[in-house]
Amino acid sequence: MDIRRLVRKDVQRLRAYNATEVPCRIKLDANESPYGFSAALRSAAGISTNRYPDPEATLLRGILARDLAARPENILQGNGSDELIYYLIATFGGPVLFPTPTFSMYGIISRALGEKPVGIPLDAKFDLDLKKILSAVRKERPKLIFLSSPNNPTGNCFSAEKMLKIIGSSTGIVVVDEAYQPFSSRKGFLPMLKDYRNLVIMRTLSKIGLAALRIGYLIADTEIIEEVNKVRLPFNVNALSQAVAVAALQKRGTLERSVRSVKTERSRMFSAMGKIKGVRPYPSEANFILFQVEDPVAVHASLLKKGILVRNIADVVPGCLRVTVGTRRENSSFIRALVTILSAKV
């Protein structure tokens, strides 16, 4: 029996998202935070494992709503924002438009669900190509547009003015993915929710020290939340994750301190990388830095030989690697290794 032939054509052609573990000493490849919340995990030990979790994640949504000055009815919880991307596409369908390069899951999930992905290349400054996007909006009439700002893997925020034009001219839903917003110097799009009913903001706890919990959330008009909630699996966020997230979010000071450290380290890394001959770092509003080298495959392999794992993204941004901001020690080791590798080459 040929199992593959039973699979939908779209899925046959898909390649799974590569999240294999590569053994390393210093892990700077996945845009996680180097700081965790062990105390929050201890305080979650009281959960009743024999009961299903709160399907509405009431406490968690309440805390998120309070922090965002929103109402819980405007918030929908996901098992990571990955799951919410899935739910959004399952709810509204395609075509699904997004600039490229960007976060790969918009394209992967569109294909998995049999919806048409429409990728529009960014301009030379990694900003949105407004003309091309608006013309694709007219031609394709996308049901969904995903704008990751700050964008992964380029690290920049898109021009707010261009984003507003896109939101204003779209006849579908526009999702502004603010996974990296905590690290950005820009304001973000939450205040725009009152002016645009087709706007959805997507956030995650993954980048601020809670990646293991798998918690993402949408903020949008209740009408959108109610529709997406119809496709949500009943107990999508487990009890342990809910409890740890609630405990961690109470520790505002710890959260803010870790974000501040990442931002300070980001500027230190950026200037150090800029001084290395043969390295071109791009300015970042996120917790990672995109950088160009002459031979990304060789540099990636040499770093790994020294135990340091970064992400090779040369297939989507030619000549580029992406390094996550780690602890001060990890970053110093990375910089030292990069200096050694590139000076050995000359």
CA nearest 163: which of 144, 189, 193? 189
The rounded radius of gyration (Å) of the Cα atoms in the chain is 20
Distance separating alpha carbons of residues 144 and 109, to the nearest angstrom:
12
- Exactly one of 86, 98, 103, 189 binds ligand PMP (CB under 6 A); which one? 103
81: contact with ligand PMP by CB under 6 A = yes
Amino acid, res. 195 = D
Classify residue 144 as left (phi > 0), alpha (psi -120 to 50) or beta.
beta
Q: Per CB under 6 A, which of residues 112..171 are in contact with ligand PMP?
A: 148, 152
Q: Which is nearer to ligand PMP, 40 or 342 (CB)?
A: 40
Site for ligand PMP in 226-285 (CB under 6 A): none
The footprint of ligand PMP on this chain (CB under 6 A) covers a number of residues equal to 13
Give, for 265, the enclosing helix (H) or strand (E).
helix 252-274
Segment interacting with ligand PMP, rule: CB under 6 A, options 51-59, 77-85, 307-315, 325-333: 77-85
Position 221 contacts ligand PMP (CB under 6 A): no
Subset of residues 24 to 63 that bind ligand PMP, contact rule: CB under 6 A: 31
| Cβ closest to ligand PMP, residue 149 vs residue 302 | 149
Q: Does 216 bind ligand PMP (CB under 6 A)?
A: yes
Residues 172/89, Cβ–Cβ less than 8 Å: no
Find out whether 228 and 88 touch, Cβ atoms under 8 Å.
Answer: yes
What b/e string do you get for 51-78 counting C-beta neighbours within 10 Å, with b at 16 or more?
eebbeebeebbebbbeebebebebbbbb
Q: Of the candidates 170, 206, 258, 302, which one interacts with ligand PMP according to CB under 6 A?
A: 206
What is the closest distance, in whole angstroms, from the C-beta atom of residue 204 to ligand PMP in the complex?
A: 3
Which residue of 34, 53, 72, 80 would you call a contact of ligand PMP, by CB under 6 A?
80
Piece in contact with ligand PMP (CB under 6 A), picked from 42-50, 80-88, 121-129, 219-227: 80-88
Work out the burial of residue 292: count CB atoms within 10 Å of its CB; fewer than 13 is exposed, 13-18 middle, 19 or more buried.
middle
Work out the number of other CB atoms within 10 angstroms of the CB of residue 269: 25
User: Closest approach of Cβ 36 to ligand PMP, in Å?
Assistant: 15
Q: Is the N-terminal amide bond of 101 cis, ω within 30° of 0?
A: yes
Q: How far is the CB of 119 from ligand PMP (least distance, A)?
A: 15
> Of 8-16, 181-189, 192-200, 204-212, which part binds ligand PMP (CB under 6 A)?
204-212
Task: Provide DSSP, 121-175.
Answer: E--TTS---HHHHHHHHHHH--SEEEEESSPTTT-PPPPHHHHHHHHHH-SSEEE
Selected range binding ligand PMP among 39-47, 79-87, 258-266, 309-317, rule: CB under 6 A: 79-87
Choose the stretch contacting ligand PMP; rule: CB under 6 A; options: 75-83, 130-138, 267-275, 302-310: 75-83
**Which residue stretches of the chain are H helix?**
3-6, 9-12, 38-43, 58-68, 80-92, 105-112, 130-140, 160-169, 222-229, 239-250, 252-274, 296-305, 328-345
Closer to ligand PMP by CB, 33 or 170: give it. 33
* Contact residue for ligand PMP among 177, 265, 285, 330 (CB under 6 A): 177
Contact 197, 172 (CB under 8 A): no
Q: How far is the CB of 206 from ligand PMP (least distance, A)?
A: 3
| CB nearer ligand PMP, residue 136 or residue 218 | 218
Residue 77 binding ligand PMP, by CB under 6 A: no
Contact status: 107 vs ligand PMP (CB under 6 A)? no
In the complex, minimum distance from the CB of residue 344 to ligand PMP, in angstroms, rounded to a whole number: 32
Q: What are phi and psi for residue 75, nearest 5 degrees? A: -120, 135
- Binding footprint of ligand PMP on the chain (CB under 6 A): 31, 80-82, 103, 148, 152, 177, 179, 204, 206, 211, 216
